[in-house]
Each structure stands twice: as structure tokens, then as C-alpha cells.
Chains A and B, each alone.
Chain A
Amino acid sequence: MSVMGLFFVFIATVAVIWLVRQGVLESPWLEEGEVAHYRRAGGAAEPPTAGRVGLAVFLAVAGCLFSLLAAAFFMRGDAPDWQMPPIPGVLWVNTFLLAASSVALQIAVFAARRADAERVKTALLVGAVTAALFLIGQIWAWRELLELRFFASSNAANAFFYLLTGVHALHLIGGLVALARTTDKVRGAERITKELTTSVELCAIYWHFLLFVWLLMFAMLIGWADGFGAICRRLLS
């Protein structure tokens, strides 16, 4: 649960900083005269849109879900029967594909800010295709493991492999639906409006989050995080 602890400390810190900025510590009714030159939260020129805040809250929930899965992974990994399956080589290709997808969406964001509609369309398409290829690659990796007879029921480590990649893939599929809707809107639009830019940005943020989660997950699966797991367990026992 140390992973969860770290995640929770992060969330709590963000929340407390935000609350203080919103003025929970102030007592405007005690201050005399010119009260409160109002400070905008975050100092940004514009308040964030509801969609952006909604996405941030959703990512916190998804982050919580993945942290809990990671915590369970490390705790269960302590048992003597734990045996990680071999990692299919295709996962390296997949990692590259997901990174490419993330980069493509970031390019789409830059293009959208410059109102370059053609470029946005191309970049969104590239992002969607690479993400879809990533999903196919993940299925490929599952098949490879299943052919080698590493079943979910034969070892908990195998089961965690399928569970983690599966939950991540479901999030990506959800993202693809949103991306498809955004692409559709961009295609129908004559020019890139502010609204469209926002939805492209939201997609890109979601993609970066999924890439980040995947990188940590991949590190866990190939064993780079074993040292971290050992520290977590020592804290607990």
C-alpha cells in the first residue's frame, strides 16, 4: 500500500495548495478597508474550462485505480509461488507505438493552436492509428503468452500481467472513443475553433497520462521496479 500512500500524498498536496490559494485560510470579514484583491486560482489568465477540470478529476481517479493495482502487485509479489512470465518482445514495439501516438497528439495540439486544420487532421489520424496498433500489439502479446501456456490461473504473476495490461487497454479504448468523436468534429468543422482546440488538448492530456501509466507498468512487468517493491514491503512488515 506504500504506492497508494505516495499517490495519496501527491493528491493531498495538490488539494491543500489549491485550497489555500482559494482562500480557506483567510478571514475577509476580519480585514478592514480594501479587502481582497482577488487572486485568480493558479494565476492563469483564464480560468480552466469545466472539461479540463473534469478530466483532471477523472485522471486522479484513474491514477488511484492504477496505484492500487500496483500496490496489490507488489504485495502479492512477495509470495513464494510468484513467477513472472517472460515478457514478449512485442511489448517494446508497443511502447514505441504508444509514445509515437502521444507525440502525434501533442503535434495535433500545437497545430490546433496555430489553427492549421490539415495538420490537425493528419496528426489525429496518426495518433489514432498508432494507438490502435498498440492495442493490436497488446493482443499479440497476450496470444504469445497463452501459446506458451502461461495462463492466468497457473500463476498470480501471469494473472497480474493480463489484469494490468487489460485495465490499461480498456482505458485506451475509452480514450479512442473520445478521440474518434474529436476527429469527427474536426473533420466536420470549417476552421479550428477554440472549442475544438480544447477537445484536442484534452485528448492529448489523456494520452500522455496513459503513456506515463504504461511506462511505469512496463517497468513493473519487466522487473525494473523490483527494488522499489522490496522497499514498499519492508515499510509494511
Chain B
Amino acid sequence: MTDASVPQNVAPPPAEVPDVDLYHAHSWITKYVFSQDAKVIAIQYAGTAITVGILALVLSWVIRLQLAFPGAIPFIDANVYYQSVTMHGMIMVVYMLTAIFLGGFGNYLIPLMVGARDMVFPYVNMLSYWVYLIATLVLVSSYFFPGGPTGAGWTLYPPQSILTGTPGHEYGIILMLVSLILFIVGFTMGGLNYVVTVLQARTRGMTLMRMPLTVWGIFAAAVMALLAFPGLFVACLMLLLDRTLGTSFFMPSLVELGERKDYVGGSPILFQHLFWFFGHPEVYIVALPAFGIVSDLISVHARKNIFGYKMMVWAIIAIGVLSMVVWGHHMYISGMDPWFGFFFAVTTLAIAVPTALKVYNWVLTLWHADIHFTTPMLFALGFLVTFVNGGITGLYLGNVIVDVPLSATLFVVAHFHMVMGIAPVLVIFGAIYHWYPKITGRMMDERLGKIHFWITFLGAYAIFFPMHYLGVLGMPRRFYEMGETAFVPASAATLNIVITVIALAVGFAQSIFFYNLFKSLKYGAPAGGNPWRAASLEWQTPETPPGHGNWGQQLPVVYRWPYAYSVPGAPEDYLPQNAPPMRGEHSP
């Protein structure tokens, strides 16, 4: 070691990282539009994702209005209903959540948190965003084609997805498949960047076990996404060929409207295997970054190191590995071998172990901590409650015998909205409130933030909690209209109306957030470099917002983990990762 200030008890850095040759923007267009700076790309990604997310939010109102007032609104016919269900699901899961966590937070936070100047392949990173944007535009453009977007449900199961009975079977389904293929191509370019940047561009002293859990979560999710998205890619490609060239990968021989189709012997179950090989890891691709971000929010705002850092890392890895072998639990009612179902039930329930471990560690981090109830902290706590709630219903559905009657009811809708809808969205809000000062240099309004939190959190509960009861009553999901049934009482219709009214209100209440977001850009209180007094590296940049190349002349050197809060003997209640070590200090 040449650096004399590094004492013997600090492990030397992993590798000398040569400075990345930085791309320097010369014009306004290359600086803000076709930018290769990860920070700009992150904002482009997040902006696009939030924009289509708003579209998907409006579509959810269409669904809710039909469920509450069947037939009362003239333009919502069965086609529009199914198209809204499909587009809402697909946009939220793929184009919003995946894009904002990996493309948005991944791009912004990875280079800053590991002490890199930028992503390793900036040009590919830029391409990634533009391909994602084209994919989004292709998807949305299906509204302007004859027949509109596809109404096949977000799972796109053949044979129904490409037969004439389904809305959008002419153009909608083709555009959907092309858009997904483009999305995967774009994502793969981004994903390569996130993984290789974490592997290669960490600054001196930043060992793997000193990375913030946010980076660990995004890293693991990116690896999983790179391995899982090919499943969707193959499924989409083959379905596209079935639709356009008349191949029979998935299409069995069938008679449609009295006419015998040319398809022979295809296997719809094969599609389900390929789809869910992607579809289940997708849940954790969204959840793992959320886990990571929540760990950091809780630690910073509770002024305490995260409890069991090493276990948290192992849990992320274990969840990542396990989640690749559980896809069959989405297919319990597809007529699979009972032993197969048994295998998938075991792996599914086994995921509860590392997940519960993480929840315990979050709770133990809060135990006897100096909790500051800031807006990000509130959102993190809201996530904890929501996630535990959604996780527990997951245990019900993971058991084959319980799943069979509950499958295809609103119970499933309530479960997955709790666990991968509301919970990650709360984290996104929390993360935006937390990192907004770093991105813009100004604080968001705390009072508006708290109002936004309570409306969103309580409102989301009021929407999805009663839905469990509707599911247990046997109210089916995906149905356009219930009509008269022997088992659903009239009060269920009243409950549906209540849920819809609250859903509309909560949706509109999000304008508080957007008002806060845009108002604070100009009128927010100046934040300074490190308003939360956080220890991790992104708060130690010489400029706020971080300039081009992030670190000025010299890359930072890291001496400890990112959770050095309330360290005894330290001058403040936190020690930045790059502050030189104290005498006798024993931080990890």
C-alpha cells in the first residue's frame, strides 16, 4: 500500500480501478437528450416510467368503475374492460416498476454508491433508454390501431390471446409482443451495465461487503432479470411466430367459429412454463431493489446500523436463487403432476425463510433506535407493514390445496397488489423523498409529504384489504360483470362501490406528490450536500447535484461500511464511508 493513512487493520482495496474515459458532452442535445451520463439517463428512465405509470393508474380506474357500476358508464364495454386490465397489469409490472427500479434508481445510485464516475459502458446505457422508450411508444401506439390494444390479460396465455374472440387480436397482440421483445433487448443492455459496473468500477476500498444494501438489491435483481427475461423473450418470439406465420409452438388444433384452424398439436402449457419462468423472478426483480432501498432508508432515518448486514446480503442472494425455481406455483391449476406441485409448494414456502429474516432484521434495526419520522421513514415503515401483510397471504396461496379454491378470485388480486404493487410503490415514493435533495439540491416539502403518505398508505389499505374478503366470498377476478349468483351477497356490490370511490380518491391524491415534486424544484429549501447526515458514499459528492464525473478530480477511498451510525467516540453520530479511519476503530 502506498497510502500511508490506511492502517493495517483495514483490508486493502479489491483492485486498482482505472479511470473510465469519460464521455464529454458538447451540446445541449448530447447533454440532456442523447446523454451518456447515467444520472441523466436515470431521470429519463424514471420520467418515462412514471408517465406510463399514470396511464396505468387511469386504466385501473376504468377497471374499478366497471366493477362498482357495471354497465353504468357507456364507453366501458367488455372489450375496453379487458384491454384496461391487460394494459394496466403489463405497464405496471414491466414498463413502470422494473424500469423505475433498475433503469431509474439503478442508473442514478449504482455509480454514486460504489464510487464510480459513470456506468462502465455509457454508450450502451444510452441505447438502453432509447430502446426502452421505443418499446413504450410501440405499446401505447396500439391504442391507435384498429381493434385497439390486446385484451388477453397480462399473462397473454395462448390460445385465447391470438384468437378472434379477444380484443386487439389483429394488431394489439402483435404490438404487445414486439414491444416486450424490444423492452427485453433494451433492458439487457442496461442490465449488463448495472452488473458490470458493480463488478468492475467500485472505488478503492469498496469491497462487496461494504456496498450499501441498495446496491446489493439492485445488483441481485439485475442478475436475476438478465437470467429471467430470456424466458419472456423466447415466449414472445414463439407466440409472435404462431400469430404471424401460423406455426404451432403453443397453438393446439382447434375449431374457431365453426372453422377448423391450421394449428396442430401445440402446447399452451409450454407457454405457461416459459412465461412464468420469467414471471415469478419478476416479482423479486421488483422486490429486491425495494428491500435494499428500505434497508438504507431505515438505517439512515433510525440513526442505527442495519441489523445483521451479512445476513441481509445472504438473504438477498438466497431469495434470488430460490425465486428462479418456484415458477410452477402459478400453474397449480394447469393440471400438473401432484409431485411437481409439491416441489413448487416447498420451494415457494422456503422463500419465506430468508424474507422473514429480512423483516426481523428491519424490525431489530428499529429496536431502541433514534427514529426520525421523516417522510422517507414513514414510507419505509408503510412498506414493512404492507409487505408483511402481502407476504402472509402469499403463504396461503403457496399451498396447493388452499390455492386451488382461491385461485382466480379477488383474493389473488389483493395478495399481489399488496406485495408487489403497493409495497414497492411505497418504496419508490420513500426513495424519491429521500434522494430528491441529492438529485436537485432542494428538499421536498415535509408537510405535504406526510399528507401524501397517510392518504396513500391508509387509502391503499382501504382498497386492498376488503378485497381479500371479496375473494374469500368467491368473487372471481377478470369477470366483466358478475350478474346474479347464489353465493355473492348484495353487500359485496356495496363494498365494490366503496373500494372504487377510495381508489379514485387515492389516485387523485397523488397530485399532491406531483405538486410537491415540481414546486420543490424551484421553491424547496436548499438541501446542502448531506441533509439526512447519511454515511453512504452518494451523499459525499463534492457537488450537489453531482457534477459530470461525480467526484471531481479524485475518486473517493472507502474505509468502512455504509452503516456507521451512532459510532461511539465519533465526532458526529455518523461516519461517512470515505472519512479516514479513527484511532482504534473497528468498523466493518
When distances are taken between beta carbons in the complex, the residues of chain A under 8 Å from B247 are 152-153, 156, 159
Task: Type the 1/0 row for B210-241, where 1 means its CB is closer than 8 Å to any CB of A.
Answer: 00000000000001001100110110011001
When distances are taken between beta carbons in the complex, the residues of chain B under 8 Å from A126 are none
Q: Does A222 contact B (CB under 8 A)?
A: no
Q: Does B97 contact A (CB under 8 A)?
A: no
Using C-beta atoms within 8 Å of the partner chain, give the interface range for chain B.
35 or more
Given A57-B195, A57-B196, A68-B245 contact (CB < 8 Å)? no
Which of A22-30, A112-120, A130-138, A196-204 participates in binding chain B? A22-30
Q: Does A79 contact B (CB under 8 A)?
A: yes
Point out the residue from A12, A36, A57 that lies within 8 Å of B226, measured CB to CB. Answer: A57
When distances are taken between beta carbons in the complex, the residues of chain A under 8 Å from B199 are 53
| Residue pair A152, B245 in contact (C-beta under 8 Å) | yes
- Which of A27, A155, A156 is the most central at the interface, judged by chain B CB atoms within 10 Å of its CB? A156
Point out the residue from B11, B200, B208, B262 that lies within 8 Å of A50, measured CB to CB. Answer: B200
| Residue pair A61, B121 in contact (C-beta under 8 Å) | no
Q: Does B270 contact A (CB under 8 A)?
A: yes
| Residue pair B314, A53 in contact (C-beta under 8 Å) | no
When distances are taken between beta carbons in the complex, the residues of chain B under 8 Å from A29 are 586-588
| Residue pair A75, B270 in contact (C-beta under 8 Å) | yes
When distances are taken between beta carbons in the complex, the residues of chain B under 8 Å from A60 are 226-227
B75 to chain A, nearest CB (A): 38
| Residue pair B310, A24 in contact (C-beta under 8 Å) | yes
Point out the residue from A24, A33, A36, A163 that lies within 8 Å of B237, measured CB to CB. Answer: A163
When distances are taken between beta carbons in the complex, the residues of chain A under 8 Å from B121 are 50, 54
Task: Type the 1/0 row for A67-108, where 1 means its CB is closer than 8 Å to any CB of B.
Answer: 011011001100111100000000000000000000000000
When distances are taken between beta carbons in the complex, the residues of chain B under 8 Å from A237 are 337
Given A47-B15, A57-B196, A163-B238 contact (CB < 8 Å)? yes
B559 to chain A, nearest CB (A): 12
- Tell me which residues from 357 to 415 in chain B have a Cβ below 8 Å from any Cβ of chain A: none
| Residue pair A64, B11 in contact (C-beta under 8 Å) | no
Point out the residue from B191, B196, B246 that lies within 8 Å of A53, measured CB to CB. Answer: B196
When distances are taken between beta carbons in the complex, the residues of chain A under 8 Å from B262 are 153
The docked-state distance in angstroms from the alpha carbon of A5 to that of B277 is 11
Given A34-B8, A159-B249, A65-B233 contact (CB < 8 Å)? yes
Q: Does B138 contact A (CB under 8 A)?
A: no
The docked-state distance in angstroms from the alpha carbon of A15 to that of B318 is 12
| Residue pair B234, A24 in contact (C-beta under 8 Å) | no
| Residue pair A81, B241 in contact (C-beta under 8 Å) | no
Q: Does B180 contact A (CB under 8 A)?
A: no
Q: Does B9 contact A (CB under 8 A)?
A: yes
Q: Does A148 contact B (CB under 8 A)?
A: no
Q: Does A35 contact B (CB under 8 A)?
A: yes
The docked-state distance in angstroms from the alpha carbon of A15 to that of B247 is 37
The docked-state distance in angstroms from the alpha carbon of A12 to that of B224 is 11
Q: Does A17 contact B (CB under 8 A)?
A: no
- Tell me which residues from 175 to 216 in chain B have a Cβ below 8 Å from any Cβ of chain A: 188, 191-192, 195-196, 199-201, 207-209
Task: Type the 1/0 row for A30-53, where 1 means its CB is closer than 8 Å to any CB of B.
Answer: 000111101011000001001001
- Tell me which residues from 544 to 588 in chain B have a Cβ below 8 Å from any Cβ of chain A: 586-588
A223 to chain B, nearest CB (A): 19
| Residue pair A54, B270 in contact (C-beta under 8 Å) | no
When distances are taken between beta carbons in the complex, the residues of chain A under 8 Å from B16 are 47
The docked-state distance in angstroms from the alpha carbon of A1 to that of B586 is 48
Given A28-B588, A75-B273, A50-B120 contact (CB < 8 Å)? yes
Q: Does A11 contact B (CB under 8 A)?
A: yes
When distances are taken between beta carbons in the complex, the residues of chain A under 8 Å from B248 are 81, 153, 155-156, 159
A80 to chain B, nearest CB (A): 7
Point out the residue from A22, A34, A81 that lies within 8 Å of B265, measured CB to CB. Answer: A81
- Tell me which residues from 2 to 16 in chain B have a Cβ below 8 Å from any Cβ of chain A: 8-16
B285 to chain A, nearest CB (A): 14
The docked-state distance in angstroms from the alpha carbon of A33 to that of B223 is 36
The docked-state distance in angstroms from the alpha carbon of A79 to that of B274 is 17
B280 to chain A, nearest CB (A): 13
| Residue pair B192, A68 in contact (C-beta under 8 Å) | no
| Residue pair B586, A152 in contact (C-beta under 8 Å) | no
| Residue pair A58, B207 in contact (C-beta under 8 Å) | no
The docked-state distance in angstroms from the alpha carbon of A33 to that of B587 is 14
The docked-state distance in angstroms from the alpha carbon of A133 to that of B192 is 31
- Tell me which residues from 313 to 332 in chain B have a Cβ below 8 Å from any Cβ of chain A: 313-314, 317, 321, 324-325
Closest to B321 in A: A12
| Residue pair B200, A61 in contact (C-beta under 8 Å) | no
Q: Offer 25 A-B interface pairs, CB within 8 angstroms, sorted by A.
A: A1-B273, A4-B277, A23-B209, A24-B208, A38-B13, A41-B14, A50-B120, A53-B196, A57-B192, A61-B230, A64-B227, A72-B249, A72-B274, A75-B267, A75-B273, A79-B265, A81-B265, A152-B241, A152-B246, A155-B264, A156-B249, A159-B247, A159-B249, A163-B238, A167-B237
Other A-B contacts than A24-B313, A61-B191, 11 sampled, CB-CB below 8 A, are A12-B321, A22-B207, A28-B11, A50-B121, A61-B192, A64-B230, A72-B234, A72-B238, A75-B273, A79-B266, A156-B266
